[in-house]
Structure 1
Amino acid sequence: MIFRQLFDSTSSTYSYLIASRRGAEALIIDPVLEKVDRYIKLLNELDLRLVKAVDTHLHADHITGLAELRDRTHCITAMGEQTKADVVSMRLADGDRLTIEGVGLDVIYTPGHTDDSYSFAMEDRVFTGDTLLIRGTGRTDFQNGDPRQQYDSIFNRLLRLHDDTMVFPAHDYKGDTVSTIGEERRNNPRLQVPSVEAYVELMNNLNLPNPKMMDVAVPANMHIGLHQEEVAQKGWSVSASAALGLLGRPDVALVDLREKTERERHGTIPGALHIPYTAIDDNVRPGGVLHQLGAMQKLAFFCAFGERSAMAVTSARDAGIASAIHIEGGIDAWKKAGGPIER
């Protein structure tokens, strides 16, 4: 496995690059905007294709690199389903699997630092965001933080992982790079409390100043931008209500770009084909299945919220499929418009 821990000294943020091998798909956790050039350079050096960029939560101390990475690599952006960020391609829930080629991470909802905090666990390591730090825990006094929830996230979720599980946090301010679950259980001073009430009292009396970037970072990270507006201006989109008229038409092929777990949880549009977004480039280029299909039928892409489909229709148009469109707002908007769902 390829694994890189990358550090932004300004915000003391760790970002993590993961892939199964050279030449494979890659994932980045907690990217920082100012480091995007560095990430792109490393991806090129390792011959990796970035397919997913994930934030463990809505950060208050730096501006996320999600939008910039999306714009430059057309990767899928992902956060927990509780996030208040305006646009992410994929919203994750507790118990999901976050996958790329050859790598899978268990998705664990760990609120407390914020109400949208998630951790991601592999067999030998866990990426804890700001929930569990090395010899510390994330503050709980803003962004709907809750020390009682954090206690539950740490003691009843994270500390139940094997003691040898490596802990990789989103931040460290002392120069530490990695710990283990057992090490934190024994040595983290904030975990040496007799009860949840004692933990709540401890966290409620930290009296820490707000992060320096908070007033800038939080609004910026809630508005990472929307490709769909540009696509709509080009006439390559259709509203969900108008898309109802496409259902059952022999000259239209509906193409679902979501992953299997999303389709299983939320259902799909009856009769839709399934082509995962990560395979779109191979399918729309000349000789690909969708390129051939697009010569005979209008292609109508859709995903969860319209972000992946907006990027897919751009790729399809660039590949010469002049009939390609996408459904604005994805299946979320389709449901709100009263569209039928097939489980």
Structure 2
Amino acid sequence: MFRQLFDPASSTYTYLLGDTASGEALLIDPVFEHERRDVALLRELGLHLRASLDTHVHADHVTGAWLLKERCGSQILLSEQSNALNADRLLRHGERVAFGERYLEVRATPGHTSGCLTYVLDDQSMAFTGDCLLIRGCGRTDFQQGSPQLLYQSVQQQILSLPPTCLLYPGHDYRGLTVTSVAEEQRFNPRLGGSSNEADFTGYMNNLGLPHPKLMDIAVPANLRCGRPGVQALVEQAWAPLTFTFSGIWEIQPAVLAEVTGGVSGGVQLIDVREPAEFSDALGHIAGARLLPLSQLAEHAAELIAAKRPVVVICRSGTRSAQAAVLLQKAGLTQVANLAGGMLRWRAEQLPVEGNATQ
């Protein structure tokens, strides 16, 4: 059983492999924000997650490995060269990762980072290349101990040496492409295919001049912890469909909040933490929202907890309200969520407002 999943924020592919006879499954490159999606899919397909595998320490998103271990009891696997904490098994070249009667062969493919791995299915019908080999491209080599020489050798010796019909599934694609093959990349990859040699490839990669990934300063340290958040407990919230962010807060999307409240905030406390002048400015405010500026929120925390109703905190963009959510969590409020994108996104989605908002 095979499924290809996608994270639009980072253009990351997550891959589910399941052995139908035993019900055991593996997830390759899970994304932190999609843990609930992945667990739901496993449940619906009747699969038990044996392990999550990362192809490398990512710089553009946070792995979901730790969350999946907490939820499913699965193991965390990645390269021994990653120097990561919290892993259950550090993989070496040539090892096998079993799931039921099937297995993945581990191939060390350094070059994008020093700890990159490619996972090859036992019958060599498919391989999961992470960022080493992309569709008509490859991962960059200018940080995390990257090396164009090593990457060239890795791809040629460990990936393009597979049977021509072997399907290759990359860690990312930014154009909507989903799969390629060894034969295609040998022929059409402009960096690594055709008559390109190591000198050609090295010269190309050394002159890319790309900016560093936007989330690098957050993602790399987080992934060196295998995605374990910097919060002590992860309290589940079942009162609405929420997303848990790596910063340690829950978020609710505007459309979801509109559906949950149904125009009536009786079941949810809507707390707007902007200043009074903003409450009735051009953005307006959500019907039923209570104005409690961030500077005054702490003194009202006990009152909000005593109400025993979930709290959604709101601001202009979601920044101040994220701080408000953390404040309320520390005060002991377990059911609290930040309105993702704040009033800016609420208005962008043309949801109803009150106040002096321009329509």
1:153 maps to what in 2? 154
Q: Does 1:131 align with 2:170?
A: no
Q: Take 1:146 and 1:23, find their aligned partners in 2: how far apart are those partners?
A: 40
1:94 maps to what in 2? 93
1:213 maps to what in 2? 215
How far residue 171 of structure 1 moved from its aligned partner, in angstroms, is 0.4
- Of all paired residues, the percent bearing the same amino acid is 45
Q: Secondary structure of the equivalent of 1:67?
A: helix
Q: Does 1:10 align with 2:9?
A: yes
Q: Matches of residues 47-196 of structure 1 in structure 2 within 5 Å? A: 47-122=46-121, 123=123, 124-191=125-192, 192=194, 194-196=196-198
Q: Which amino acid aligns with 2:37?
A: R
Q: Take 1:209 and 1:107, find their aligned partners in 2: how far apart are those partners?
A: 31
Q: Which amino acid aligns with 2:45?
A: L
How far residue 154 of structure 1 moved from its aligned partner, in angstroms, is 0.7
Determine if contact 1:23/1:46 at 8 Å carries over to the other structure. Answer: no
Unpaired stretches in structure 2, ≥5 consecutive residues: 233-359
1:332 maps to what in 2? none
Unpaired stretches in structure 1, ≥5 consecutive residues: 231-343
2:350 maps to what in 1? none
Determine if contact 1:112/1:153 at 8 Å carries over to the other structure. Answer: yes
TM-score by length of 2: 0.61
Q: Secondary structure of the equivalent of 1:140?
A: coil
How far residue 72 of structure 1 moved from its aligned partner, in angstroms, is 0.9
Query: Deviations along 1:58-105, whole A, 9 cap, x unmatched?
Result: 000000001100111111110011112112001110011111112211
How far residue 195 of structure 1 moved from its aligned partner, in angstroms, is 2.1
Determine if contact 1:193/1:199 at 8 Å carries over to the other structure. Answer: no
Q: Secondary structure of the equivalent of 2:219?
A: helix
How far residue 22 of structure 1 moved from its aligned partner, in angstroms, is 6.8
Q: Secondary structure of the equivalent of 1:190?
A: coil
Q: Which amino acid aligns with 2:214?
A: K
Q: Take 1:85 and 1:104, find their aligned partners in 2: how far apart are those partners?
A: 23
Q: Does 1:197 align with 2:196?
A: no
Q: Secondary structure of the equivalent of 2:25?
A: strand
Q: Take 1:112 and 1:102, find their aligned partners in 2: how far apart are those partners?
A: 32
Q: Which amino acid aligns with 1:98?
A: V
Q: Matches of residues 325-340 of structure 1 in structure 2 within 5 Å? A: none
Q: Secondary structure of the equivalent of 2:68?
A: helix
Rg (Cα) greater in structure: 2
Q: Which amino acid aligns with 1:17?
A: L
TM-score by length of 1: 0.64
Structure ranking higher in helix proportion: 1
RMSD: 1.6
Report the count of equivalent residues.
227
Query: Deviations along 1:137-160, whole A, 9 cap, x unmatched?
Result: 100001000000000001122111
